[in-house]
Structure 1
Amino acid sequence: MYNVLLVDDEDLDLEALRRFIPWDQLNMRVVSALNSAVSAAKYIDQAELDVLVTDIRMPQMSGLELAKLAQERNKSIRIVFISGYEDFTYAKQALSLNACSYILKPVNDDEVYEALTKVKEMLDHEQSRKQTERAYMEIVQARSTDRKPPLSDVKQTLADYDKKQNKKNPKLAQEIIAYIHAHIHEVITLRNAANAFSYTPNYLGLMFREETGVAFTDYVIQARLLKAQELLTDTNLKIYEIADKVGYRNLNYFSKQFKDSFGISPLEFRRQS
């Protein structure tokens, strides 16, 4: 179950939150309900929490300050703010802390339940993602080798790829491939792609190679060069313009990689096509 901390300096509001929300249905449990942000800050230092539900205006320390401390302790904690003040400044600060919800008093139980349902969905998704990542890493590490396929093998794999991807690749691998082609004119790194899909670079790289048989970096290179072939054949763009359109800022480097892959220079390829 997900651990929830409730904080409100109004005892009646605090008790209502604790008693009238069906926490079990949300797979959540209230591990503590405190009427002081200062006490809550001390509690956060020693507790493992998933959700913080806090009032904003409290003596000595505000709920905003408390939330910031909680995030420093645990970046993945989900925060729901409750406030008796419809103040744009508070709402703006809450947004800056990536709050999941901002609920105005008097609190409506249905509104709180709806907000917490969304929090639960976010936590479930994150938990599932982490479990999948761990399991996949274990499988891949058990099966992986250090052998890197030669570039000629990569080229052959890519030549047949469009015919095979719908049959062999899971949705995530297809989405990564779509991402590469959509950003073919930009700098593409494994880290950037991993950030875009909310995975670690190590996991994303291993998963991509396991599903496609091609290392991520090798796929990016060949995707760029195959796009260059297409532009050399179908357009009158100058070679340096084509290099730029497929993500190369250095013409000599582009020409070298093209020849290494296909055995001829871009100019020779254009003359033959």
Structure 2
Amino acid sequence: MYTLLIVDDEYEIRNGLSNLFPWHETGFQVQAVRENGREALDYIIEHPVDVVLCDIMMPELSGIELARELRDRHPRIKVVFLSGYRDFEYARKALSYGVRNYIVKPTKYSELSHVFHQLREELDEEQSLSGPQGPDKTEAEAPQEGGLQERIIARVRKYIDTNCHDASLEKAADLVRMNPHYLSKLYKQVTGVNFSDHLLGVKMDRAAELLRGINYRTHEISRMLGYSSPKSFSRAFKQYYGMSPREFRNSKPPVE
């Protein structure tokens, strides 16, 4: 069973989630409940958990601030937001801090079940990559076994697809417990493509998909994909596609 910390300033919600949802069916057990981000952070320092399910708007320390602290201090802890707000800015910040999912209240049983089944699969995969020495194992060299290599690269590709906005070789290496230099060599050896080139390709595919829609402006897409400015995003996009984001959008029929 993986461990879960529930954080919500509303008593009925945090206790309802803790006691009424069949967590054991998704492979989780509720280790504790807390009513704000500050209490949650203090708890995690002494009692590490696998996943935090938390509200966004809370006193003392908000869910956004908690996610930022966890990203910096405990990057392996996965965060799921639970909020009554459906807002672009919250969603953008959630992405930038590595939040896994954004569930809007009132919570549907099916959605909660789906999200945590997915999280269990990810945690199972990460645990299998850690090997018998556990999460503190450090691989000094690239593993030799073909099957293990493929699993590591599959995990890294999934990480890039999910976190392209702030993915890096160093974070990917930390995820699979490898030296960044050796992971870079292994990635090129197995896929034939450099890590950085694949990351750029994923970002550009995502940018093209978003530009075909009508929901986001170019500067919003730039932020969603982790670029420091719209200018740097536009430059990268034009180098990749041979046209600016504006030209690309005008050349494609919009998707509702």
Secondary structure (helix, strand or coil) at the match of 1:58 reads: coil
Structure 1 residue aligned with 2:90? 90
In 2, Cα distance between equivalents of 1:96 and 1:19: 31
Structure 2 unpaired stretches of 5+: 154-168, 193-256
Three-state SS of the structure 2 residue aligned to 1:60 is coil
Flag the 1:87–1:29 CA change in 2: closer, same or farther, 3 A: same
Deviation at 1:38, TM superposition (A): 2.0
Note the 1:60-209 alignment, pairs <5 A.
60-131=60-131, 170=147, 172=149, 199-201=176-178
Q: Which amino acid aligns with 2:10?
A: E
Pair 5,204 (structure 1): closer, same or farther in 2 beyond 3 Å: same
Are 1:84 and 1:105, in contact at CA under 8 Å, matched by a contact in 2? yes
Report the Cα distance in structure 2 between the residues aligned to 1:98 and 1:194, rounded to whole angstroms: 11
Deviation at 1:27, TM superposition (A): 2.1
Which segment is superposed worse, 78-87 or 40-49? 40-49
Residues in 2 aligned to 1:107 and 1:84: alpha-carbon distance in whole angstroms? 9
Query: For residue 27 of structure 1, what is the aligned residue in structure 2?
Result: 27
- CA distance, structure 2, for counterparts of residue 196 and residue 41 of structure 1: 25
Q: Alpha-carbon deviations, 1:30-82, whole Å to 9, x = none?
A: 11111222211211221111100000001222111112222333111111001
CA RMSD of the aligned region, Å? 3.9
Could you list the per-position Cα deviations for residues 193-230 of structure 1 after superposition, in whole angstroms to 9, with x for gaps in the alignment?
99589645569969x99xxxxxx99xx9xxxxxxxxxx
User: How far, CA to CA, are the matches of 1:8 and 1:41 in structure 2?
Assistant: 13
User: Partner residue of 1:256?
Assistant: none
**CA distance 1:30–1:202, shift in 2 (3 Å):** same
Classify the secondary structure of the residue corresponding to 1:124.
helix
Give, in whole Å, the separation in 2 of the partners of 1:175 and 1:59: 40
Distance in 2 of aligned mates of 1:174 and 1:73 = 27
C-alpha contact 2:14 2:33 (8 A) present in aligned 1: yes
For residue 25 of structure 1, give the secondary structure of its aligned residue in structure 2. helix
Measure how far apart 1:108 and its partner are: 1.1
Q: Which residue of 1 aligns with 2:7?
A: 7
Q: How many aligned positions are there?
A: 167
Contact 1:4-1:49 within 8 A present in 2 as well: yes
- Tell which structure's C-alpha radius of gyration is larger: 1
Q: Kindly provide the CA deviation profile for residues 168-208 of structure 1, in whole angstroms up to 9, marking residues without a partner as x.
A: x54737998xxxxxxxxxxxxxxx799589645569969x9
Q: TM-score, normalised by structure 1?
A: 0.51
Higher helix fraction: Structure 1 or Structure 2? 1
TM-score by length of 2: 0.55
- Cα distance in 2 for residues equivalent to 1:88 and 1:2: 30
Distance 1:56 1:10 in 2: 12
User: 1:46: which partner in 2?
Assistant: 46
Query: 2:150, 2:112 → 1: CA distance?
Result: 37
* One-letter amino acid matched to 1:37: G
- Cα distance in structure 2, aligned partners of 1:60 and 1:8: 12
Q: Give the match's secondary structure for 1:114.
A: helix
Deviations 1:108-165 (A, max 9, x none): 122111111111111111001111787xx99x99xx9xxxxxxxxxxxxxxxxxxxxx
Identity between Structure 1 and Structure 2 (%): 32
Given that 2:9 and 2:35 are in contact with CA atoms closer than 8 Å, whether structure 1 keeps it comes out as yes
* Kept in 2: contact 1:194–1:200 (CA 8 A): no
Gap runs ≥5 in structure 1: 145-168, 177-191, 210-215, 221-273
